A and B are shown apart, each in its own frame.
Chain A
Amino acid sequence: MKLSIKPFGLAMLLSFGAPVVAMVEQTPEPALDTQADAALEVTTDKTPEAVLEVITDEAPDVALDANQLLSYIDSLRGYQDQSFSFELSNISYKKNKQKHRNKLVVKVLNDASLVEFVAPARSKGRKILKQAQNMWIRFPRTRNVLRVSPAQRLLGETSNGDVTGTNFSEDYTATLEASPEKSETIPNKSETPSNKSEVISEKPLLKLLLTAKHDKTTYQKVVFFLDSENHQPVRSDFYARSGKLAKQAYYTEFKEFGGELKLHKMRLVNPIIEGSYTWMMFDNYKKQTLEPAIFHKDALSR
């Protein structure tokens, strides 16, 4: 995979799945797929404290450009300069609670995104339009279209949208940090439901530090761990402005759609709430000619 991918304005990709999820079900969070990627293995560990191992065998390629890596990360979530659509399924878990599912269809054109709920039945037909920071929601029963604030997508515990919905290239400055030392261990506070731990990768990992360019981002700092060979993200840690670790995303499967590699499955973990995570599956990416007219607030009810 070449790294000559430019940043594209797709970040919205998920600005949907999550916000939406949040508004409707206030789902929990996220993350990890055992079968998905060879780079990610799940093992059983007797140790009570879950541990996540980052093993590095070699130094990072200093010639790698941090911004290119960042653009590559963004490219895994959409198509550059091309409108497209995809489907998103979420399953959210909380300890001792029933899980919640929803399915969405997302259409993206530049900085605009249109999300339509397909399931569950109680949310079906609901539409959310996001254009930059502006969001509108349409309720199928009343046909009312109301402006909502970005904070409203964070309802409940779920801030999936912010985690996944960020256009990193636009909002963050990337720095390629020195690679973690061999066998460095990073406490993985999220893996509380059992005594399992996960070896994040047998391969060396790159550590990409993202720092917010402005104060409109939800997270001040994001740390990506990338496979040093194919540069696919393995995990990312999201830090709130307080410096606290707020979310962890485990990228568990990538899949080719129309000949281009895209993120397929991920698990988002809320390290603050024990046993709280959300599985997300992105599927059926399609390059599509989408007319700007459908991204108009007044078109939501037609």
Chain B
Amino acid sequence: MMKKTWPLLVVLASPVVYADDPFADPFADPFADEPIAIEDNIHQSRIELKSYYQNNNLRSNHPLNTGQFEFNDEFRFVGLDASLESQWSDQWKTRARVYSRYMVSSAQTNNKEEIDTYLLEGLLQWQSLDQNLVIELGRNTPKWSNGYNYDIANMLQPNRSLPNIDQDNPLQAKGWDMLSAQYYSGHWSMAGYLVKSDSDNPNIDSEAVLRLGYQNDHEFSFLIHKLDQGKLAYGATFSTLLGDETTIRAEWTRHPFRQTNLLDGGERTHYQRLVLGTTYAAIDGWSLTGEFFYNQHGANDNQWQQITELAATSADLLKTGQTQNVDQDRYLAGAGLGLMAQGWSRQRYGSLMFMSGQSEDLWQLRLGSQISLDDSSRLHRVEVLKSINDNLSTRLEVQLFEGCELCEFGLNPNQSNVRFTASWLF
């Protein structure tokens, strides 16, 4: 037990500071004895020490596992995420974010330890005196999406938040090395990005994005994305208010190629994605968010059936020793697993998320479900959040993957998992 939970001790052993007297005299000026001036400082930092323990309830007989894989049933993790932003003058600024982690992943017969350090962001920024023009050089993470579960308008490759946004994984916020320029004029903004690509495709060295944005009661943006040697891809976003309680948003992309590996791209000249979403926020604090996602990059029923059945058959042949062609069967079984790991593998998705208001004791509840509408498989997520004090926060997260054996979420190696996270913000 001690071995499993030791990473949490780093955080839990930290001094807990509770707020003072909750029965204060309502008439006494609480500001009388304390300095409240906010210091001007050219350096702003944000340092977070985080630790989690995750236990996976694995599927006992995964149809695509040939026996050569061991899925992890535990993770223990400690990470330090440090950002420093320095405003050297009215025009010059630097920003850096470094992330170090120590993670132990455990399978039945094998433990794997990893210690890594990443530069998530590191850039030099210059801005004109009127701040209308901003030029940045270095590693940056521009975000253009206004979606929640399906951030399709973040068009740089690869999209790091696939397949599911993991809020404890800062690597999903790792930037790209780029030179960018942004110009603001009234309600409009224009931006250009020249990016060194880290796409898996060896033929792609660089990417470029042009973006035009408009902000008012209705907000929209239009994106043009060019991969080195490739054709143009397009994206657009829109959001607006519907009354005081409801926001509506939409995102669309159109690519000249299929973004899903292993699926034949021959049947179409372009592939589109569309996300429609809305959030209702109640006056007493809770909110409800719904999203629909249409994804032409994903597999249709025939393609999905073909791939998964081939993969399952190959895996079965390997497991039973009846294979005629080991390499081919391994490839097919691995391809099935790979498709699943890629995320957004099917064409139609829906999601619903409930978020409670934060209680006076700083508790909060989040409930979320995603459904792959093509096969009705589902991912359910329950999160209970508690801020112990200004610095220490905890979260208990349970995920449940449901669906038939060869359905998208049913193919996840985990039937369920539970993660307890504690983080200390300095």
Give the interface of A toward B (CB within 8 A).
24-26, 28, 31-36, 42, 87, 89, 91, 93-94, 96-101, 103, 105, 118-122, 124-125, 131-134, 140-152, 154-157, 159, 191, 193-194, 196, 198, 216, 252-253, 265, 267, 275, 277, 279, 281, 283-284, 291-294, 296-299, 301-302
B260 lies within 8 A of chain A by Cβ: no
Other A-B pairs beyond A91-B31, A196-B27, 12, CB < 8 Å: A34-B28, A93-B24, A93-B26, A98-B19, A120-B391, A124-B46, A132-B217, A140-B83, A156-B284, A297-B215, A298-B189, A299-B184
Would you give the shortest CB distance from A242 to chain B, in whole angstroms?
Answer: 12
Known: A26-B360, A98-B19, A294-B131. A133 touches B241 (CB 8 A): yes
Instruction: Flag if A298 contacts B191 (CB, 8 Å).
Output: yes
Instruction: Flag if B393 contacts A216 (CB, 8 Å).
Output: no
Instruction: Flag if A283 contacts B36 (CB, 8 Å).
Output: yes
B interface residue count range (under 10 / 10 to 19 / 20 to 34 / 35 or more): 35 or more
Instruction: Flag if A143 contacts B27 (CB, 8 Å).
Output: no
Instruction: Flag if B31 contacts A296 (CB, 8 Å).
Output: no
Give the interface of B toward A (CB within 8 A).
18-32, 36-38, 44, 46, 48, 81, 83, 125, 130-132, 134, 136, 141-143, 145-146, 148, 167, 170, 173, 182, 184, 186, 189, 191, 213, 215-217, 219, 239, 241, 243-247, 249, 279, 281-285, 287, 357-362, 387, 390-391, 393, 425-426
- Closest CB pairs A-B (n = 5): A120-B390, A98-B19, A293-B184, A121-B425, A152-B281
**Which residues of B lie under 8 Å from residue A298 when comparing CB positions?**
182, 184, 189, 191, 213, 215
Known: A191-B26, A293-B132, A302-B134. A151 touches B362 (CB 8 A): no
| Cβ 8 A contact of A103, one of B21, B38, B142, B283 | B38
28 CB < 8 A contacts A-B? A26-B285, A28-B360, A31-B26, A32-B27, A34-B29, A35-B29, A36-B29, A89-B31, A94-B22, A97-B360, A101-B390, A103-B38, A105-B38, A140-B46, A140-B83, A141-B173, A145-B143, A145-B146, A147-B219, A149-B279, A151-B245, A151-B283, A194-B26, A198-B27, A275-B26, A291-B132, A298-B184, A298-B215
**Which residues of A lie under 8 Å from residue B142 when comparing CB positions?**
143, 301
Nearest A residue to B239 via CB reads A147
Instruction: Flag if B219 contacts A149 (CB, 8 Å).
Output: no
**Which residues of B lie under 8 Å from residue A150 when comparing CB positions?**
241, 244-245
| Cβ 8 A contact of A296, one of B38, B170, B215 | B215
**Which residues of B lie under 8 Å from residue A283 when comparing CB positions?**
36-37
Instruction: Flag if A156 contacts B360 (CB, 8 Å).
Output: yes
| Cβ 8 A contact of B26, one of A32, A125, A284 | A32
Nearest B residue to A41 via CB reads B27
Known: A96-B22, A291-B131, A298-B215. A91 touches B30 (CB 8 A): yes
**Which residues of A lie under 8 Å from residue B282 when comparing CB positions?**
151
| Cβ 8 A contact of A98, one of B18, B26, B130, B239 | B18
**Which residues of A lie under 8 Å from residue B32 when comparing CB positions?**
35
Instruction: Flag if B182 contacts A281 (CB, 8 Å).
Output: no
Instruction: Flag if B37 contacts A284 (CB, 8 Å).
Output: yes
Instruction: Flag if B283 contacts A194 (CB, 8 Å).
Output: no
Nearest A residue to B133 via CB reads A293
Main secondary structure of the interface of B (DSSP, over half): loop
Interface centre among B20, B27, B167, B215 (most CB of A within 10 A): B27
Nearest A residue to B287 via CB reads A152
CA of A132 to CA of B58 in the docked complex: distance in angstroms? 51
Tally of contacts, chain A with chain B, CB under 8 A: 205
**Which residues of A lie under 8 Å from residue B22 when comparing CB positions?**
93-94, 96-99
CA of A275 to CA of B24 in the docked complex: distance in angstroms? 10
**Which residues of B lie under 8 Å from residue A294 when comparing CB positions?**
131
**Which residues of A lie under 8 Å from residue B358 when comparing CB positions?**
24-26, 155-156
Would you give the shortest CB distance from A228 to chain B, in whole angstroms?
Answer: 24
Would you give the shortest CB distance from A274 to chain B, in whole angstroms?
Answer: 11
Interface centre among A119, A133, A144, A292 (most CB of B within 10 A): A144
Known: A25-B358, A252-B29. A151 touches B281 (CB 8 A): yes
Would you give the shortest CB distance from A269 to chain B, in whole angstroms?
Answer: 8
CA of A252 to CA of B391 in the docked complex: distance in angstroms? 31
Nearest A residue to B34 via CB reads A89
Instruction: Flag if B281 contacts A149 (CB, 8 Å).
Output: yes
**Which residues of B lie under 8 Å from residue A277 when comparing CB positions?**
26
Would you give the shortest CB distance from A300 to chain B, in whole angstroms?
Answer: 10
Would you give the shortest CB distance from B153 to chain A, in whole angstroms?
Answer: 11
Would you give the shortest CB distance from A161 to chain B, in whole angstroms?
Answer: 12
Instruction: Flag if A142 contacts B26 (CB, 8 Å).
Output: no
**Which residues of B lie under 8 Å from residue A42 when comparing CB positions?**
27
**Which residues of A lie under 8 Å from residue B362 when comparing CB positions?**
25, 100
Instruction: Flag if A193 contacts B26 (CB, 8 Å).
Output: yes
Instruction: Flag if A121 contacts B143 (CB, 8 Å).
Output: no
Would you give the shortest CB distance from A281 to chain B, in whole angstroms?
Answer: 5
**Which residues of B lie under 8 Å from residue A279 when comparing CB positions?**
29-31
Would you give the shortest CB distance from B305 to chain A, in whole angstroms?
Answer: 36
**Which residues of B lie under 8 Å from residue A132 when comparing CB positions?**
217
| Cβ 8 A contact of B285, one of A99, A154, A297 | A154
CA of A143 to CA of B141 in the docked complex: distance in angstroms? 8
Instruction: Flag if B285 contacts A134 (CB, 8 Å).
Output: no
Nearest A residue to B173 via CB reads A142
**Which residues of A lie under 8 Å from residue B38 when comparing CB positions?**
87, 103, 105, 118, 284
**Which residues of B lie under 8 Å from residue A157 when comparing CB positions?**
360
Would you give the shortest CB distance from A19 to chain B, in whole angstroms?
Answer: 12
